[in-house]
Structure 1
Amino acid sequence: MTRVARGYDIFEEGRHVDIGKLRTDTPGCARVAHLNNAGAALPPRPVIDAVAEHFTLENTIGGYEAAELNAPAVERFYDAVARLIGARADEIAYVENATRAWDMAFYAVPFAEGDRILTTTSEYSSNTIAYQQVAAAKGVSVEVVPDEADGTVSLDALEATLAKGDVRLVSLNHIPTHNGLVNPAADVGRLCREHGVLYLLDACQSAGQLALDVGEIGCDMLSATGRKFLRGPRGTGFLYVRRQIVPTLEPPFLDLHAATWQAPDGFEMREDARRFETWERYVAGQIGLGVAADYAADLGIAEIEEHVTGLAAVLRRKLAARPAATVLDKGERPSGIVTFTVDGHDPAAIKEAAKDRGVNVSVATPRAHGYDPDAVPAAVRASVHYYNTEDELDRFLSVLP
Structure 2
Amino acid sequence: MPSPLSHAAVAALRARTPGTQSTTHFNHAGASLPSSATLEAMRAHLWLEATTGPMEAGVAGREQTERARLLAARLLNARPAEIALTTGCSPGWGAAFAALGPWRPGERILVARHEWGGNLAAMRLSAQRAGATIEVIPSDASGAVDPQALEAMLDERVRLIALTWLPANGGLINPAAAIGQVARRHGIPYLIDAAQAVGQLPVDVADVGCDVLTGACRKALRGPRGTGLLYVREDFLSRLTPAFVDTRSAPLGADGEPVLRDDAARFESAEASLALHCGLANALEEALEIGIENIRARIESVAQALRVQLAGIPGVTVLDQGREQSGLVAFNIAGLEAASVQRKLAEQGVVIGSNGVSYTPLDMEPRGLKQIARASVSYLTTESEIDTLLDGIRALAI
Q: What is the alpha-carbon root mean square deviation over aligned residues?
A: 1.6
In structure 2, do the counterparts of structure 1 residues 111 and 148 end up closer, same or farther at CA, with 3 Å as the change threshold? farther
Q: 2:371 aligns with which of 375, 378, 396?
A: 378
The residue type paired with residue 384 of structure 2 is D
For residue 110 of structure 2, give the secondary structure of its aligned residue in structure 1. Answer: strand
The residue type paired with residue 380 of structure 2 is Y
Q: 1:388 aligns with which of 358, 368, 381?
A: 381
Whole-angstrom distance in 1 between the partners of 2:153 and 2:189: 14
* Structure 2 residue 154 is matched with structure 1 residue 158: no
Q: How does 1:54-93 map to 2 (within 5 A)?
A: 54-93=45-84
Q: How does 1:310-325 map to 2 (within 5 A)?
A: 310-325=301-316
The residue type paired with residue 310 of structure 1 is S
Cα pair 2:138 2:149 within 8 Å, conserved? yes
Farther-moved stretch of structure 1 (361-370 vs 39-48): 361-370
Whole-angstrom distance in 2 between the partners of 1:257 and 1:29: 39
Whole-angstrom distance in 1 between the partners of 2:119 and 2:307: 29
Q: 2:6 maps to what in 1?
A: 10
Cα pair 2:166 2:196 within 8 Å, conserved? yes
Q: 2:161 maps to what in 1?
A: 170
Cα pair 1:181 1:334 within 8 Å, conserved? yes
**What TM-score do the two structures reach when normalised by structure 2?**
0.95
- For residue 264 of structure 1, report the CA deviation from its aligned partner: 5.9
For residue 255 of structure 1, give the secondary structure of its aligned residue in structure 2. Answer: coil
Whole-angstrom distance in 2 between the partners of 1:347 and 1:128: 23
- For residue 346 of structure 1, report the CA deviation from its aligned partner: 2.2
Structure 1: 4+ residue segments shifted above 3 A? 1-4, 262-265
- For residue 111 of structure 1, report the CA deviation from its aligned partner: 4.4
The residue type paired with residue 99 of structure 1 is S
Cα pair 2:252 2:259 within 8 Å, conserved? yes
Cα pair 1:225 1:238 within 8 Å, conserved? yes
For residue 172 of structure 1, give the secondary structure of its aligned residue in structure 2. Answer: strand
- For residue 297 of structure 1, report the CA deviation from its aligned partner: 0.9
Farther-moved stretch of structure 1 (336-345 vs 70-79): 70-79
Whole-angstrom distance in 2 between the partners of 1:43 and 1:277: 24
Counting aligned pairs with the same residue, the percent is 38
Whole-angstrom distance in 2 between the partners of 1:165 and 1:323: 51
- For residue 138 of structure 1, report the CA deviation from its aligned partner: 2.7
Q: 2:331 maps to what in 1?
A: 340
Farther-moved stretch of structure 1 (369-378 vs 320-329): 369-378
Q: 2:37 maps to what in 1?
A: 46
Whole-angstrom distance in 1 between the partners of 2:351 and 2:306: 15
The residue type paired with residue 391 of structure 2 is S
Q: 2:128 maps to what in 1?
A: 136
Q: How does 1:2-401 map to 2 (within 5 A)?
A: 10=6, 18-113=9-104, 114-162=106-154, 164-262=155-253, 266-366=257-357, 368-372=359-363, 373-375=365-367, 376-400=369-393, 401=397
Whole-angstrom distance in 1 between the partners of 2:219 and 2:174: 18
- For residue 156 of structure 1, report the CA deviation from its aligned partner: 1.2
In structure 2, do the counterparts of structure 1 residues 367 and 234 end up closer, same or farther at CA, with 3 Å as the change threshold? closer
Whole-angstrom distance in 2 between the partners of 1:33 and 1:307: 18
Whole-angstrom distance in 1 between the partners of 2:23 and 2:100: 43
For residue 118 of structure 2, give the secondary structure of its aligned residue in structure 1. Answer: helix
**What TM-score do the two structures reach when normalised by structure 1?**
0.94
Whole-angstrom distance in 1 between the partners of 2:337 and 2:251: 54
How many residues matched?
A: 391
Cα pair 1:28 1:42 within 8 Å, conserved? yes
